[in-house]
Amino acid sequence: MNIKFLDGRVKQFTPGQSALDIANSLAVSLAKKAVFAKVNGVDFDLTRPIFEDATLELMTKDSPEALEVLNHSCSHLLASAVRKLYPQAQFGVGPAIEEGFYYDINPGEGIKLQEEDFVKIENEMRQIAKQDLAFKRMELTKAEALKLFSHDKYKQEIINELDDHVLITVYQHGDFVDLCRGPHVVSTKVLKNVKLLALSGAYWRGDSQNEQLQRIYGTCFFTEEDLAKHLLVLKERSERDHRKLGRELDLFMLSEYGPGFPFWLPKGMILRKNLEDFWYKIHTRENYQFIQTPIMLNKELWEISGHWFNYRENMYTSEIDKHQFAIKPMNCPGGMLVYKNSIHSYRDFPLRVGELGLVHRHEASGALNGLFRVRNFTQDDAHIFMTEQQIVSEVGNLIKLFEEIYAVFGLSYHIELSTRPKEKYIGSIEIWDRSEQALALACESVGKPFKINPGDGAFYGPKLDFKLRDSMHRIWQCGTIQLDMNLPERFDLTYIDENGERKRPVMLHRAIFGSLERFIGIITEHYGGAFPTWLAPVQVKLIPVNLERHQAYVQAVKQRLLSEDIRLEIDKREEKLSYKIRDAQTKKIPYQLVLGDQEQADNLVTYRQYGHSATKTVSLDDFVSLIKEEVRTLGK
């Protein structure tokens, strides 16, 4: 058989040889680094035989996909260890996830796992790993699979949903067998660098009507050093947890009287208002118009939009004057009514309409998580109306706007283009193809690479998703640009073209922050609570050396800073100077100003920046100029 490699070379091999055999024939070092293979683009175990001509790509330990395969294999290792320790255990699903894996497990009647059990489970996992057990792939009929998993009701449920004529793939290592598509590492010996991290509840198949299983999270790396580095990152992340920092910095609070409904405290309100002002300023520059739509609207509107039939279980409803109303879960339908309020011409396009709109969605209580998952949040929505010919240029301009805003916060990103779903989509395939091509061309027009995410578009159109990476190397889905073929049709939106005829506009939904609440949670952890000066709730802490002797000068400095719109606090406590400075550093205030005899006599300030030990004495005028320039340039 002919095997073609990525560099274009073609070599002949005996049919039935595996990717591992081929790798060993090329270089033993390559075989040692290989984790799995792609054969004609399909994931293959290294030991799986190849019987026909194919293109072969060997995926080595350096590939992110290889780490994913390692972690998925480790989820099987976890399950086999749990089965050894708890023979009655039954297993849900155990996928690889970002930076690790999890497995949903029912450990057996009357048994409830605790995190204290992790040491015992980890030890069993390492014992199994030492045995160097091969991962063996097998194909079974549906009947054979049902018999094999007769002891596990969760696996049986999955198998029963499969077609009667398909072959079902399972993997075995030692005496443990699991339902799985694969691929996997060659053997358990590479799974020794493992750490179990957390335990939570998880409804079977994500449905709150089903029983709750126990979800064990873990992570695995190819080397002990990489695992140690990752655990250090996780430790730093826990110290930067936005819920912890939110309490310490007095940003927001949560109450049992409103689960999922955050309360903004005074300093949090300043932070939020700064973010909103930044958003309005930059969008005003980009010729956006701003609206505000009602929080509660009649059921009939939600029937037109489709939300009443497809999203009702996540909506809060009420009755007014014997009519049903719903609190908006999205801003879009209200935006459609605003558009229909006027007659529009092609000369108005592109028409950019923005709204910081408060929306409410009923989330499961178990899913709530600080500001990351809440039940009410503010979307930085915009709806842009245009002709089809304007899509490429408008989306290109949007990408540049996203880039500019994310750069202010030091957030890198990559773009994913989500294409037409295989089923349940509206519009013709021809329109979908044109729309997807337009989004791709827009990325290319501004020199931005993108990854195809096949079949993950919304039912109403393709989209570009912006995946942000923070200082802790986590990926966040925030920004999105969605092309909508549904709402303009449902709401009968039109414009007058150059020939005086009514036409249907093209519409984009777009959000940059996604949710103000979630974005604030992200940047709180990204900055570790040490917000840049322009964003910080308190920019300057005034620290008098002697409160009584320097009171007049402190008040003079205060009035000058306030006149320049510089936010400040005065430390009036009878404490040592060193303690006050340390405390201001703990509160992560950008600047601490020490005011003593010399400063008072010569109209000076001695300042120290957060994170620095050095101090500098300058005139009050120079300090004001310094901080105003830093705010003006957003710290660039």
Question: Is the Cβ–Cβ distance between 380 and 406 less than 8 Å?
Answer: no
Tell me the C-alpha distance between 588 and 537, whole Å: 10
Give Cα 291 to chain centroid, integer Å.
28
Concatenated DSSP letters of 122-186: HHHHHHHHHTT-B-EEEEE-HHHHHHHTTT-HHHHHHHHTS-TTS-EEEEEETTEEEE------S
Find the catalytic residue in 180, 332, 443, 478. 332
Beta bridge partners of 591: 540, 609
Tell me the C-alpha distance between 249 and 266, whole Å: 11
Is 414 one of the catalytic residues?
Answer: no
Beta bridge partners of 263: 253
Find the catalytic residue in 76, 192, 375, 463. 463
Question: Is the Cβ–Cβ distance between 138 and 169 less than 8 Å?
Answer: yes
Tell me the C-alpha distance between 112 and 150, whole Å: 23
Tell me the C-alpha distance between 550 and 543, whole Å: 10
Find the catalytic residue in 172, 379, 539, 585. 379
Tell me the C-alpha distance between 127 and 174, whole Å: 12
Find the catalytic residue in 152, 381, 470, 484. 381
Tokens of 516: 């103000």
Question: Is the Cβ–Cβ distance between 248 and 529 less than 8 Å?
Answer: yes
Which one-letter amino acid corresponds to residue 593? Answer: L
Give Cα 357 to chain centroid, integer Å.
21
Q: How many CA atoms lie within 13 A of 607 on its CB side?
A: 20
Tokens of 421: 């779903």
Find the catalytic residue in 240, 509, 526, 608. 509
Is 209 one of the catalytic residues?
Answer: no
Is 567 one of the catalytic residues?
Answer: no
Which one-letter amino acid corresponds to residue 243? Answer: R
Is 322 one of the catalytic residues?
Answer: no
Find the catalytic residue in 173, 192, 361, 375. 361
Given 3-state DSSP classes, what are the helix, strand and coil percentages for the chain, each rounded to the nearest 5? 40, 30, 35
Is 463 one of the catalytic residues?
Answer: yes
Is 72 one of the catalytic residues?
Answer: no
Place of tokens 């873990």: 218
Place of tokens 């990408």: 399
112: left (phi over 0), alpha (psi -120 to 50) or beta: beta
Tell me the C-alpha distance between 333 and 299, whole Å: 11
Tell me the C-alpha distance between 605 and 180, whole Å: 67
Separation of first and last alpha carbons in the chain: 58
Is 383 one of the catalytic residues?
Answer: yes
Question: Is the Cβ–Cβ distance between 171 and 182 less than 8 Å?
Answer: yes
Buried b or exposed e, range 242-258, using 16+ CB within 10 angstroms? bbebbeebebbebeeee
Find the catalytic residue in 242, 383, 567, 608. 383
Q: CB count, 10 Å around CB of 554?
A: 21
User: Known catalytic residues?
Assistant: 332, 361, 379, 381, 383, 463, 509
